[in-house]
Structure 1
């Protein structure tokens, strides 16, 4: 498997989908309810996903794809699986807020080896191949700048992002405890409704960390791989090791992520160390 070629396919597909989304945001966006938890889906989600599926399956017809709206495409359990989030930030788009990205990951044996995040608003793309670092590039560029966020603690506390899965109930005791600790101890807590955008911000060094609880399986691997390859450390909520695999349960997708020197303080802030 040529991962450089796979990166090119993923980047070009994500950027094409981003152009579609950016153009679609200029008109009226069709929005309808999705599920029973208050989530929504737009016409742009579906159009972007159709484009991404066509691009990926044309290049790799024998691979499996798990897409946000279509679910499983192809047989499960294969060696190579693509994860597609055609519009991460759908709720933002539904209210006209320009904070959304496109995410694509390629996993081998359930473990991500390639991650791509494209921001149609800034026309920037971030990509990572496991063991080769993470890059930031303008859309359409053949080169990029290596991501390496510095350790720059603030005396006023960290700037953190929070994300949780759609299935988490409002009455979840762990959520209440974590959010309370964040509100009391962090300088700011961002809830972007676009987890992949938060991962890109962390990989760039714009924010100090992310706390996630039962995160969604489709978007987590691309963002987590991007951050890891930029030098970010990710731990489970108990401080133990964390692996961004597509297997496992929702509880396996709870984590803290920050610069390695900041992780002990983040766990302490949450009262989890």
Structure 2
């Protein structure tokens, strides 16, 4: 398997989808409810996903694809699986907030080996190949930055759509962050937060039961830029597509910043339970 070619296919597909989103964003979006958690889907989500599926399955007809809106496609038993997030940040786009991206990941045996994130608003693309680093197109190497502020870290928070308002652990985690961080961003576009972390724009991300379709691409991008990712208790973490929602709770930061961030989280009552 030529991973350089897979990345090229993914970058070209994501950028084509981004052009579609950018052209359609000023018009009527066809917004409608998705599920019972307050999430929405638009005509642009579906159009972007259709384009991405066509590009991927044309290049790799023997691969499996899991797309956010349409689910499983391609060869169900393949060892290679593509994850497709055609519009990460749909709720933002629906209210006119220009904070959304396109995300693709290629996984082998459940672990991402290629990750791509494209921002249609700024026309920037970031990509990574496992064990070979992360780059910003057209090839600038990404390297995680470390900075310590006396006012606390600048963090992003993400959670899965199934997480309820009365989840006690969420309240404890958010309380610890609000009390000790300089600022906590809730972008509702996790892949955008991962790209910001890989670029050094923010100091860390805390995720709770994150969505499976967008986690691998962003986590691979950040890891290959030098970010360390741990579970909430400080143990090892893998950005695998298998496992439960609890397996997708994490803390991500520069290795030098991670101990302080884990300590910060433990200051919230009930976090350790």
Q: State the TM bucket, normalised to the shorter chain.
A: over 0.9
Residue 127 of structure 1 contacts residue 226 of structure 1 at CA under 8 Å; is this kept in 2? yes
Task: Tell me the matched-pair count.
Answer: 268
**Aligned position for 1:253:** 248
Q: What secondary structure does 2:49 align onto?
A: helix
1:76 Cα offset (Å): 3.4
2:160 pairs, out of 165, 176, 179, with: 165
Question: What's the CA shift for 1:148?
Answer: 0.5
Alpha-carbon separation, structure 2, partners of 1:186 and 1:238: 18
SS of corresponding position for 1:107: strand
Tell whether 2:120 aligns with 1:125.
Answer: no
Helix, strand or coil at the partner of 1:270:
helix
Structure 2 residue 111 is matched with structure 1 residue 116: no
Aligned match of 2:48: 48
Question: Which consecutive unaligned segments of at least 5 residues does structure 1 have?
Answer: 138-142
Q: 2: distance between equivalents of 1:36 and 1:156?
A: 38
State the shift of 1:153 in Å: 1.1
The residue aligned with 1:194 is 189
**Residue 86 of structure 1: aligned partner:** 86
1:184 is aligned to 2:173: no
Q: In structure 2, what is the equivalent of residue 225 of structure 1?
A: 220
Alpha-carbon separation, structure 1, partners of 2:145 and 2:250? 21
Instruction: For residue 172 of structure 1, report the CA deviation from its aligned partner.
Output: 0.4
Separation in 2 of the partners of 1:231 and 1:251?
Answer: 24
Give the structure-2-normalised TM-score. Answer: 0.97
Q: Secondary structure at the match of 2:222?
A: helix
Q: Deviations over 1:18-57 (max 9, x none)?
A: 0000000121211000011111000000000000000000
- The residue that corresponds to 1:140 in the other structure is none
Q: How far apart are the structure 1 equivalents of 2:130 and 2:91?
A: 31
Aligned to 2:2: 2
Q: Report what 2:205 is aligned to.
A: 210
- Asked if the contact 1:98/1:121 (under 8 Å) is kept, the reply is yes
Cα distance, 1:77 vs. partner? 4.2
Distance 2:53 2:77 in 1: 18
Structure 2 gaps of 5+ residues are none
Asked if the contact 1:78/1:109 (under 8 Å) is kept, the reply is no
Shift of 1:75: 4.2
Per-residue Cα deviation, 1:75-133 (whole angstroms, up to 9, x for no partner):
43421000000000000011011000000000000000000000000100000000110
For the aligned residue pairs, the C-alpha RMSD in angstroms reads: 0.9
Q: Runs (4+) of structure 1 moved beyond 4 Å? A: none
Whether contact under 8 Å (1:116, 1:226) holds in the other structure is yes
* Separation (CA, whole Å) in 1 of partners of 2:243 and 2:179: 32
